[in-house]
C-alpha cells in the first residue's frame, strides 16, 4: 500500500533546524561509542570521511571497497571543483544564495531542509580540507582562489588544478589512513558487498566476497552505512569508472530500502564524443572549461566544413543566444539538451554528427595561450591523448554523456533509509540535488555527509540500539550467504554464448535510447517490455568462465550487470510515472513551446520512493511531498 | 609519437598469464585482430578478451577502473616500459594509434618483490597503502580547523606542493626501478606535506616513519637511475627525491640534537 513518507525534518526556521537538531539529538558517551560497530561500504569522499570521523570519535568501524586501495574510489576523477559559500570573492555569495542556487538548480525537486544544511556546512568543509593539506589553487597573496561553475553567478568554486577530486580524496584518505593505523578502522580493500542482512527488520550486517580468494563471509554491526556512489553505468557508457555499480544499493532495495527518484540522471554537456562501438567509457571535459570556452555549432544543417573555415556570422553560439544572462555557464541539464537539439537539427559536428564545438580561440587571443594552458593544460592534454586533436589550434568537439545520478536510496533528515539501521551517504542517496545537480556540488555533498552530517545523526539511531547487538552466526546471515553462493553458482553454471559486456552494452543502448536525455511514454513502455527479455536472455546465455574461488573479473562484472538488468526497469517505471519534465528528466510530452522543461508542481512536487515487492511485479510507489517554505516554487529560468 | 598505418590494425601479443600468487606464470601468445587505431590499449584488451571468452578461454585479468588516467588502478609493463611508450601517460590513456600494424606487443605485470602477482597482470600494491598509514597525512580533528584563509600559502609553495600531490600511487616508479624502490612515491607524499605550513608539526616523524615502513615492505633504495621519473604518468620530478633525502637528513639530525 502506498504510504506518505516522513523525512523527520526538525521543526523551526530553516536557518535553525540543523543546530537545534544537533542539540536535541541524543549523544552517545565516549565509553559507549567503543561498543558500537559500524560498517561502511565505499571509500570515496563520503565513505572515507565518514569512516575517518566515526573512527576518530571512538566507534569501531569496518570500511569496505572493491578497489585495491580506498584512495582509488571514483570521487578521485572529479575535475573541476567544490562549492562553498565563503564569499571570499566579495561577489555577494552567502549560505542563502548557495542554498537557493542549489534548490533552483535541482529544479525544485530536492528537500529544502537538507539543501540548506548542505550550504551551511559547506564552509567548514573547505576549512577541514585546507587543514588536512589539500593544495587548493591560490592567488599570489596566498589566499585561496575561486572560479565559476554552471548555474551560479558568483565565483564560489575551490579547485586544485583539474584534479580537485583526487586532492580532496587524498585528504580524506589521509584521515582514514591515520584511523587505520590507530586501529579504529579496519579496512577491507578488494572486497565487494553482495548483500545486506536484515535482522528483525533492521540492517545489521553485510555479506561480502573477497575478490582475491572468492571467499564469501558475513560481517555484523550495529548499523550499516552505504556510500557506494551512483548507478550511471546502467547506461554502459558513462563518465563513471568501469567498476561503479548499483549492486550495494540495489541489494538493499531488494531487502526493503526504498529507491528514490531513480529517473533523475545527469547528462553532462561537455564530454568527448563517442568514437566507435569498441568504446568502453566516456571522458568528461570539466565544466570549468565553460568559464573560457564558447559553445557553438554551424548555423546551417549539414555544414561539414572544418571549424576554421566557418565564418563568424555562420556560427550559432546557441547558449549565449538562448540564455544571455548565464551564457556558456547555463546549468548542465539545459546545456546538454541544447546540444541535443542542435544535433537533432542536423547541425552536429564530427564524423558522427553527434558533437558541438567548445572553442577557446577568443580566450586564447584575449588571455594568451600560456594562461589557458595554466588553467586547463591537463584537460587539453587529455583531450589530445584521446582524440589526437590540438584544442589550442582547433575547437574541442564535445557531446553530452551520462555523468551523475541524482536519484538514490531514500533517506530521512538523519540520512537513514526507511529500513532502520541503514544509512546512505553521498551520490548513493537522493536528497540534495533534486532533478539536476549543479557543477562542483557532488564533492561538497559527499564530504558534508561524511564529515559533518552522519557523525551527528548516527547517534539518533544508535542510541536506540544499546544491548541489541547481533552476531554474524545468526540464521539470517547464513541464509544471505547461501543466497549469494547460489547466485554465484548459477552465473558460473550458464556457460552460454555471449559475454557479460555484450549484455551490458545492449542494456546501455536501450536505456540511452529510451530513458536518456529525452524520454516519452511510448519509449518507456517499450523499454519496460524489452528489459525483461534481455534479462531472461542474460540468465540463459551469458558466458561467465572460471570459478568462484579465485580472482574472477568476469564473475564480478556478471553480478553487477545482473543487478543493472533489474534496476533499469525501476528507472523506466519512475520515468514513466513522472508525467512532467524537470531537471535531467525530460519528458518530450511536457515542454514549453521553446523546448524548455515544463514542470507540474500541482501533481509532482514529491519524491517518488519505490518499494520492491517481488520479482516480476511493478514496484510500489510511496511519496514524500516536497514542501517549500524558504523558497518559492518558480519556473527555472537562466535567460 | 603516432605510428602511421591503417585505421584497423593487427597485433601479436605476448601476455603474462599466471593463475594465482602460488602458481608460476608464463607468456602466452594471442592475436589482436582488426583493432581500431583510435581505441585505447585497454579497449584493445577488451576486444581480445571478448574473443577469448567466445572460445571459452578465460579472459586476461588486468587492473583498471577510471580509464581516464587519475585513479592509478591500471598498470601493465608494455614492451618493457611501465604504462607503455608515451611519456606522462597511464596505460588507460594510451591509444593503439601509437603502435604499428603487425607489431609484437609484450605485456607483463608491474614486477617487484613488494608487489606480488595476484593473477595474470594484476599485482598487490597494498604495501603503498601501508606506507601511507605510517604517516602520509596531517592529523586534524574533524570540525576543529580555523578559517581556511587564515592560513596564507604563497602561490609558488602551493603550486610546488600540488606538483608533488599529483602522484596517483600507481606504482610505475617501483616497476621501472632496478632496485624496485618506491622512493619517488614516498618523496611525493613527504614533499607535499613538508612544503605546506599545515604539514610542519609532524614533519620530522612523518619522514622517519614512512621511510622505515618503505624499507620494511621490501622496497629498495634509490640509486639515481631516474627510471621512475621517466615513466611517471603524473610527471613527478625526481628532484623530490632530493628533497626527501634532505628531509630525512634533517629529521635524523633533529632526533639526535633536539
Q: pLDDT by residue (tens digit) across A475-492?
A: 999 999 999 999 999 999
Q: What is the pLDDT along chain B (258 residues), one digit of tens a residue?
A: 688 889 999 999 999 999 999 999 999 999 999 999 999 999 999 999 999 999 999 999 999 999 999 999 999 999 999 999 999 999 999 999 999 999 999 999 999 999 999 999 999 999 999 999 999 999 999 998 999 999 999 999 999 999 999 999 999 999 999 999 999 999 999 999 999 999 999 999 999 999 999 999 999 999 999 999 999 999 999 999 999 999 999 999 999 887
A389 exposed, middle or buried (CB, 10 Å; 0-12, 13-18, 19+)? middle
Catalytic residue among A109, A156, A332, A519: A332
The answer to whether B125 faces chain A, any CB pair under 8 Å, is yes
Q: How many CB atoms lie within 10 A of CB A472?
A: 19
Of A160, A451, A551, the CB nearest to B118: A551
- Under 8 Å CB pairs connecting chains A and B tally to 227
Residue A106 pLDDT grade (very low, low, confident, very high; cuts 50, 70, 90): very high
The reported pLDDT for the residue numbered A320 is 96
The answer to whether B205 faces chain A, any CB pair under 8 Å, is no
Of B126, B141, B146, the CB nearest to A56: B141
Question: CA-nearest residue of chain A to B49?
Answer: A499
Average pLDDT, chain A: 96
The answer to whether B99 faces chain A, any CB pair under 8 Å, is no
Put simply, the answer to whether B143 touches A382 (Cβ < 8 Å) is no
Put simply, the answer to whether A385 touches B166 (Cβ < 8 Å) is no
The answer to whether B124 faces chain A, any CB pair under 8 Å, is yes
Residue A639 pLDDT grade (very low, low, confident, very high; cuts 50, 70, 90): confident
Of A178, A241, A502, the CB nearest to B65: A241
What CA–CA distance (Å, rounded) separates B132 from B114?
15
Question: CA-nearest residue of chain B to A66?
Answer: B65
Cβ(A135)–Cβ(A144) below 8 Å: no
Of B56, B192, B196, the CB nearest to A545: B56
Q: How many CB atoms lie within 10 A of CB A366?
A: 11
Any idea of the CA torsion for A56, A57, A58, A62, to the nearest 10 degrees? -60
Residues paired with A64 in a beta bridge: A41, A188
Of A77, A144, A553, the CB nearest to B70: A77
Put simply, the answer to whether B47 touches A278 (Cβ < 8 Å) is yes
Residue A151 pLDDT grade (very low, low, confident, very high; cuts 50, 70, 90): confident
Question: CA-nearest residue of chain B to A51?
Answer: B142
Q: What are the DSSP calls for B9-30, one per residue?
A: EEEEEEEEE-SSTTS--EEEEE
Could you give the domains of chain A? 29-267+404-462 (3.50.50.60), 286-399 (3.90.700.10), 475-607 (1.20.58.100)
Alpha helices in A106-182 (DSSP H): 112-131, 164-181
Is a pLDDT exceeding 80 seen at residue A1? no
The reported pLDDT for the residue numbered B1 is 67
A311 exposed, middle or buried (CB, 10 Å; 0-12, 13-18, 19+)? exposed
Put simply, the answer to whether B153 touches A142 (Cβ < 8 Å) is yes
Of B129, B145, B153, the CB nearest to A138: B153
The answer to whether A401 faces chain B, any CB pair under 8 Å, is no
The answer to whether A163 faces chain B, any CB pair under 8 Å, is yes
Put simply, the answer to whether A279 touches B147 (Cβ < 8 Å) is no
Question: CA-nearest residue of chain B to A187?
Answer: B129
Give me the percent of chain A exceeding a pLDDT of 90: 93
Is a pLDDT exceeding 90 seen at residue A173? yes
The pTM for the full model equals 0.97
Which residues of chain A lie closer than 8 angstroms to B146, CB-CB? 127, 131
SS3 state at A264? coil
What does the pLDDT look like over A2-16, one tens digit per residue? 899 999 999 999 999
Mean pLDDT, rounded, for A600-621: 96
Whether the complex's predicted ipTM is more than 0.95 is answered with yes
Distance from CA of B72 to the nearest CA of A (A): 7
Put simply, the answer to whether A284 touches B68 (Cβ < 8 Å) is yes
The answer to whether A241 faces chain B, any CB pair under 8 Å, is yes
Which residues of chain A lie closer than 8 angstroms to B149, CB-CB? 86, 88, 143-144
The reported pLDDT for the residue numbered A423 is 98
Helix/strand/coil percent split, chain A, to 5:
40, 15, 40
Distance from CA of B258 to the nearest CA of A (A): 25
Helix/strand/coil percent split, chain B, to 5:
40, 15, 45
Distance from CA of B173 to the nearest CA of A (A): 17
Cβ(A599)–Cβ(A607) below 8 Å: no
Report B:229-248 residues touching A (Cβ under 8 A).
Answer: none
Which residues of chain A lie closer than 8 angstroms to B153, CB-CB? 138, 142
Cβ(A99)–Cβ(A17) below 8 Å: no
Put simply, the answer to whether B196 touches A135 (Cβ < 8 Å) is yes
Put simply, the answer to whether A160 touches B165 (Cβ < 8 Å) is yes
Put simply, the answer to whether A127 touches B198 (Cβ < 8 Å) is no
What does the pLDDT look like over A308-336, one tens digit per residue? 999 999 999 999 999 999 999 999 999 99
HSE, CB side, 13 Å, CA atoms: give it for residue A58: 10
Is a pLDDT exceeding 90 seen at residue A149? no
SS3 state at A609? strand
At A440, give phi and psi (nearest 5°).
70, 15
Residues paired with A397 in a beta bridge: A357
Could you give the domains of chain B? 8-119 (3.10.20.30), 126-257 (1.10.1060.10)
HSE, CB side, 13 Å, CA atoms: give it for residue A622: 21
The answer to whether A88 faces chain B, any CB pair under 8 Å, is yes
Active site residue A332: yes
Amino acid at each position: 500500500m502506498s504510504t506518505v513518507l516522513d523525512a523527520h525534518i526538525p521543526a523551526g526556521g530553516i536557518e535553525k533546524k540543523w543546530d537545534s537538531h544537533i542539540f536535541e539529538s541524543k549523544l552517545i558517551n565516549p565509553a559507549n561509542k567503543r561498543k558500537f560497530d559500524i560498517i561502511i561500504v565505499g571509500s570515496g569522499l563520503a565513505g572515507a570521511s565518514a569512516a575517518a570521523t566515526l573512527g576518530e570519535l571512538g566507534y569501531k568501524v569496518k570500511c569496505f571497497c572493491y578497489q585495491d586501495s580506498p584512495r582509488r574510489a571514483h570521487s578521485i576523477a572529479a575535475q573541476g571543483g567544490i562549492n562553498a559559500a565563503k564569499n571570499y570573492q566579495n561577489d555577494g555569495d552567502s549560505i542563502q544564495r548557495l542554498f537557493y542556487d542549489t534548490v533552483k538548480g535541482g529544479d525544485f525537486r530536492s528537500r529544502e531542509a537538507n539543501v540548506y544544511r548542505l550550504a551551511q556546512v559547506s564552509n567548514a568543509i573547505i576549512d577541514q580540507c585546507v587543514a588536512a593539506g589539500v593544495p587548493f589553487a591560490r592567488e599570489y597573496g596566498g589566499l585561496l582562489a575561486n572560479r565559476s561553475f554552471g548555474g551560479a553567478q558568483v565565483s564560489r568554486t575551490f579547485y586544485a588544478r583539474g584534479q580537485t577530486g583526487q586532492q580532496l580524496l587524498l585528504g580524506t584518505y589521509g584521515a582514514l589512513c591515520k584511523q587505520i593505523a590507530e586501529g579504529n578502522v579496519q579496512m577491507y580493500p578488494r572486497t565487494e558487498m553482495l548483500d545486506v542482512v536484515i535482522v528483525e527488520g533492521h540492517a545489521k550486517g553485510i555479506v561480502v566476497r573477497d575478490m582475491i580468494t572468492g571467499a564469501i563471509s558475513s560481517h555484523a554491526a550495529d548499523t550499516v552505512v552505504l556510500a557506494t556512489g551512483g548507478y550511471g553505468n546502467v547506461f554502459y557508457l558513462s563518465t563513471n569508472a568501469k567498476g561503479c555499480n548499483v549492486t550495494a544499493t540495489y541489494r538493499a532495495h531488494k531487502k526493503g530500502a526504498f529507491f528514490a527518484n531513480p529517473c533523475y540522471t545527469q547528462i553532462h554537456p561537455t564530454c568527448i564524443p563517442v568514437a566507435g562501438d569498441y568504446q568502453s567509457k566516456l571522458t568528461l571535459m570539466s565544466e570549468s572549461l565553460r568559464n573560457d570556452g564558447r559553445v557553438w555549432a554551424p548555423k546551417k544543417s549539414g555544414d561539414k566544413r572544418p571549424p576554421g573555415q566557418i565564418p563568424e556570422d555562420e556560427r550559432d553560439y546557441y547558449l549565449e543566444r538562448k540564455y544571455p544572462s548565464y551564457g556558456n555557464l547555463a546549468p548542465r541539464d539545459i546545456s546538454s539538451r541544447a546540444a541535443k537539439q542542435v544535433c537533432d537539427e542536423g547541425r552536429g559536428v564530427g564524423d558522427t554528427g553527434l558533437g558541438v564545438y567548445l572553442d577557446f580561440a577568443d580566450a586564447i587571443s584575449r588571455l594568451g595561450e600560456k594562461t589557458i594552458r595554466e588553467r586547463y593544460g591537463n584537460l587539453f592534454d587529455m583531450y589530445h591523448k584521446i582524440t589526437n586533436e590540438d584544442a589550442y589550434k582547433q575547437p574541442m568537439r564535445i557531446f553530452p554523456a551520462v555523468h551523475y545520478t541524482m536519484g538514490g536510496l531514500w533517506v530521512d533528515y538523519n540520512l537513514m533509509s526507511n529500513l532502520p539501521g541503514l544509512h546512505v551517504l553521498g551520490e548513493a542517496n537522493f536528497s540534495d540535488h533534486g532533478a539536476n545537480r549543479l557543477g562542483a556540488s557532488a564533492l561538497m555533498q559527499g564530504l558534508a555527509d561524511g564529515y559533518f552530517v552522519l557523525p551527528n545523526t548516527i547517534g539518533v539511531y544508535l542510541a536506540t540500539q544499546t544491548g541489541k547487538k547481533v552476531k554474524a552466526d545468526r540464521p539470517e546471515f547464513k541464509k544471505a550467504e547461501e543466497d549469494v553462493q547460489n547466485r554465484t553458482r548459477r552465473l558460473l553454471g550458464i556457460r552460454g554464448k555471449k559475454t557479460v559486456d555484450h549484455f551490458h552494452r545492449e542494456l546501455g543502448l536501450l536505456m540511452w535510447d529510451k530513458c536518456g536525455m529525452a524520454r516519452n511514454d511510448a519509449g518507456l513502455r517499450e523499454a519496460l517490455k524489452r528489459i525483461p527479455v534481455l534479462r531472461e536472455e542474460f540468465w540463459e546465455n551469458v558466458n561467465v568462465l572460471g570459478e568462484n574461488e579465485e580472482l574472477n573479473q568476469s564473475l564480478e562484472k556478471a553480478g553487477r550487470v545482473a543487478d543493472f538488468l533489474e534496476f533499469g526497469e525501476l528507472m523506466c517505471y519512475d520515468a514513466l510515472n513522472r508525467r512532467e519534465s524537470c531537471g535531467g528528466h525530460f519528458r518530450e510530452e511536457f515542454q514549453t513551446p521553446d523546448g524548455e522543461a515544463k514542470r507540474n508542481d500541482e501533481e509532482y512536487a514529491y519524491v517518488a520512493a519505490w518499494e520492491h515487492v517481488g520479482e516480476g511485479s511493478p514496484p510500489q510507489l510511496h511519496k514524500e511531498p516536497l514542501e517549500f517554505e524558504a523558497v518559492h516554487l518558480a519556473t527555472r529560468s537562466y535567460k | 609519437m603516432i605510428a602511421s598505418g591503417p585505421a584497423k590494425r593487427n597485433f601479436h601479443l605476448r601476455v603474462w598469464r599466471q593463475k594465482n600468487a602460488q602458481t608460476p606464470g608464463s607468456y602466452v601468445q594471442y592475436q589482436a585482430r582488426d583493432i581500431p587505431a583510435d581505441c585505447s590499449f585497454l579497449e584493445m584488451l577488451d576486444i581480445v578478451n571478448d574473443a577469448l571468452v567466445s572460445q571459452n578461454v578465460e579472459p586476461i585479468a588486468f587492473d583498471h577502473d577510471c580509464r581516464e588516467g587519475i585513479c592509478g588502478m591500471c598498470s601493465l609493463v608494455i614492451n618493457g616500459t611501465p604504462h607503455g611508450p608515451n611519456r606522462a601517460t597511464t596505460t588507460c590513456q594510451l591509444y593503439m594509434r601509437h603502435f604499428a600494424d603487425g607489431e609484437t606487443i609484450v605485456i607483463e605485470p608491474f614486477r617487484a618483490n613488494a608487489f606480488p602477482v595476484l593473477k595474470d597482470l594484476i599485482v598487490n600494491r597494498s604495501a603503498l597503502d601501508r606506507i601511507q598509514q605510517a604517516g602520509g597525512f596531517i592529523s586534524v580533528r574533524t570540525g576543529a580547523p580555523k578559517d581556511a584563509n587564515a592560513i596564507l600559502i604563497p602561490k609558488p609553495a602551493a603550486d610546488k606542493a600540488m606538483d608533488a600531490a599529483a602522484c596517483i600511487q600507481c606504482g610505475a616508479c617501483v616497476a621501472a626501478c632496478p632496485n624496485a624502490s618506491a622512493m619517488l612515491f614516498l618523496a611525493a607524499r613527504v614533499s607535499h606535506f613538508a612544503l605546506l605550513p599545515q604539514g610542519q608539526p609532524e614533519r620530522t616523524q612523518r619522514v622517519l616513519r614512512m621511510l622505515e615502513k618503505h624499507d620494511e615492505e621490501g622496497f629498495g633504495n634509490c640509486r639515481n637511475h631516474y627510471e621512475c621519473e621517466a615513466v611517471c604518468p603524473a610527471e613527478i620530478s625526481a628532484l623530490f627525491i632530493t628533497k626527501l633525502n634532505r628531509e630525512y637528513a634533517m629529521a635524523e639530525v633533529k632526533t639526535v640534537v633536539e
